[in-house]
Copies of this chain bind each other. A is one copy, B any other.
Amino acid sequence: MCTLCVIGNASNDCYAHLVPPHTRVNMADVARRAGVSMATASRALSNHPHVAAETRARVLAAAEQLSYVISPEASRLAGGATDRVAVVVPHIARWFFATLLEGLESVLREADLDVLLYHVGDEADRRDFFQRLPARRKVDAVVVLGMPVRDGERARLELMGVHIVAAGGQVENYPYVSIDDAAAGRQAVDHLIFLGHRRIGMIAAVDPAEPGWPANPGRTRAYEQALADAGLPADPALAVTVPWGGLPGADAMSRLLGLREPPTAVYAHSDEVAFGAIRTLRRAGLRIPGDMSIVGIDDHPMAELAELTTVAQPVRDQGVLAGRVVLALLAGEPTAGGVTVPTRLVIRGSTAPPRR
């Protein structure tokens, strides 16, 4: 049955009772109807202790009957929380960030917190965001998704005076949740080494919107380290860095194929980049994994369709965990400094021992 319904309508699609917006009812109306003071009404509605159960019920009933909704502005102004959290993302449309966001939103929504979305893409956006702090005074917490934050920017952020949480990124100054990039990279490269590859290429990706920044350091270091640990020579020509994306990935693979002595396997920093690489191989008439093995990171949904071996990371979960951290912070509970979620190698059809 419709929870707001006055007339006991049994249908869930009861829309009859809701008053039109110009008939704004406020807490005073509710209080009057319940025969209590506003103070009591306020306490009853916001679940404060020290309100007689019977009184609370009466207030709640009155509120329902009037289909009263609290004014968030007034509430906040008078000292309450905003019940809003800002989410800052460098890319909205990329699978990784969108999925992170989806997980985060779900737990925030469940806790009745509103999500304010801030897209901070290129350098201009950053400057604007951290300088103007458009979220200032508007939120109880801010979550930074998959995005490095510079020292100066951190200083600004902190001036907002709210909780800060990081997820899916390389920020460790705040409570964070992310994977261990170095470990993930090792899983990928070690797999290739285990298969017997000795000449392994790497396609590293940098954010096209932030060309100045280095590619993911953990994933890069993992490659170098794995090679070193296996006693394999490090050939700088085998490591190519391109902007993030499928097409650049395709280019990168072209460069690798143009080498006098191309690799027999390639480790890509991300699945999307790997997909591009695959296209180049297919166009070149090369077989995967026969002529070339390739492994990515992420386990993008398309990886399964492309039969791509990859290192899976629980993206949505990271968002969910970040949301829980926010909730804990808001509740004043102590939280662990950071959470690292595990990754795992998913072997599909794109990797095999090198042809001898």
Contact = CB atoms under 8 A, between A and B. Distances in A.
A109 B119 contact: yes
A344 interface: no
Could you say which interface size class chain A belongs to? Answer: 35 or more
Interface stretch (A46-54, A65-73, A219-227, A325-333): A65-73
Could you tell me the dominant secondary structure of chain A's interface residues? mixed
A99 B105 contact: no
A230 interface: no
A316 B2 CA distance: 38
Per assembly, the copies of the chain total 2
A148 to B, nearest CB: 16
A13 B131 CA distance: 8
Contact of A155 (B15, B95, B118, B119): B15
Nearest to A116: B114
Given A73-B77, A114-B138, A105 B92 contact: yes
A134 to B, nearest CB: 7
A102 interface: yes
B127 A105 contact: no
A225 B316 CA distance: 41
B114 A115 contact: no
Interface stretch (A18-26, A184-192, A205-213, A260-268): A18-26
